[in-house]
Structure 1
Amino acid sequence: MIRVTPHIVLHEADLEFRFVRAPGPGGQHVNTAATAVQLRFDVDRARGLPDEVRRRLRRAAGRRLSAGGVLVIEANRFRSQARNREDALARLVRLIQGAAERPAPRKATRPTRTSRRRRLEAKRRRSHIKRLRRPAAPGD
């Protein structure tokens, strides 16, 4: 079990690791060793995730989330399989920790009178500059 926050724990059974060949330079070694890691985590079936965290995680995952609700994290920064595995797991934990934090509620604010005046004055100045660029009217 992997502790993400004091209240969220990931079960090892919910994680699936696949080892594939890493792209990029590396000579003969990269052509023979499967050092890149694909960590697959089924967000919908994961145990120990509260529903609100699950929703925020789906939103935060973006393109890494498949149509079936599986979060795929690819790690190939390191030359060793073990370090790539740790990297993928650490990235998943960081993603879940970010989703576990409740976003601060937005407080509606109103622009101050001075800021509204400044904005309208800037619009007037800009309008005047553009008016001066127009060709002169025939009667002028």
Structure 2
Amino acid sequence: MLKISNTVELADWEIQITQIRAQGAGGQNVNKVASAVHLRFDILHSTLPPFYKERLMALSDQRISKDGIVVIKAQSFRTLELNREDALQRLKELIQSAVKQQKARRATRPTRASQRRRVDRKTQKGKTKALRGKVQL
């Protein structure tokens, strides 16, 4: 089970994980074996709520295909278990980012008090600027 939020969980059968052991590209450590994981998740055939599905399909992310399949590749770590956890974490973050509510914007209009303060400061600056260089008796 992958817990997305307090109310939403994904079952293990919904997430397909293919484990790949690939030879390194070369260089000095030719004998190193990299362990990669490909995670595949079908948005449209999942048990996610309809709101989640709509928001995920609307995302402009390269990992999401037109037919609603998410493919996440993880190969940062040497072990398959760590790569598997990394891929699951990235899927969770992707779903959470899709359904995150935008915070309400604060009023952009300045208050009366702040407008008055600004006017007072400006006039104050103007007075001192005008008196600069004048001889005071």
Tell me which interval the TM-score lies in, with the shorter structure as reference length: 0.5 to 0.7
* CA shift for structure 1 position 22: 6.8
Match of 2:31 among 28, 31, 34: 28
Contact 1:15 1:41 in 2 (8 A): yes
* Corresponding residue for residue 96 of structure 1: 95
* Change in CA separation of 1:41 and 1:23 when aligned onto 2, cut-off 3 Å: farther
* Corresponding residue for residue 46 of structure 1: 46
The structure with more radius of gyration: 2
Give unmatched runs, 5+ long, in structure 1. Answer: 111-140
* CA shift for structure 1 position 42: 0.2
Between Structure 1 and Structure 2, which shows a larger proportion of helix residues?
A: 1
CA distance in structure 2 between the partners assigned to 1:22 and 1:84 by the alignment: 16
* Corresponding residue for residue 12 of structure 1: 12
Q: Deviations over 1:43-90 (max 9, x none)?
A: 11111x122211222233611112331100000000111100000001
Is 2:81 aligned against 1:78?
Answer: no
Contact 1:22 1:76 in 2 (8 A): no
Give unmatched runs, 5+ long, in structure 2. Answer: 110-137
Contact 1:36 1:81 in 2 (8 A): yes
* Corresponding residue for residue 3 of structure 1: 3
Contact 1:60 1:95 in 2 (8 A): no
Q: How do residues 58-73 of structure 1 correspond to structure 2 at under 5 angstroms?
A: 58-60=57-59, 62-73=61-72
| TM-score normalised according to structure 2 size | 0.66
Q: Deviations over 1:79-114 (max 9, x none)?
A: 11110000000111111122232234678968xxxx
Contact 2:23 2:32 in 1 (8 A): no
* Change in CA separation of 1:99 and 1:4 when aligned onto 2, cut-off 3 Å: same
SS at match of 2:101: coil
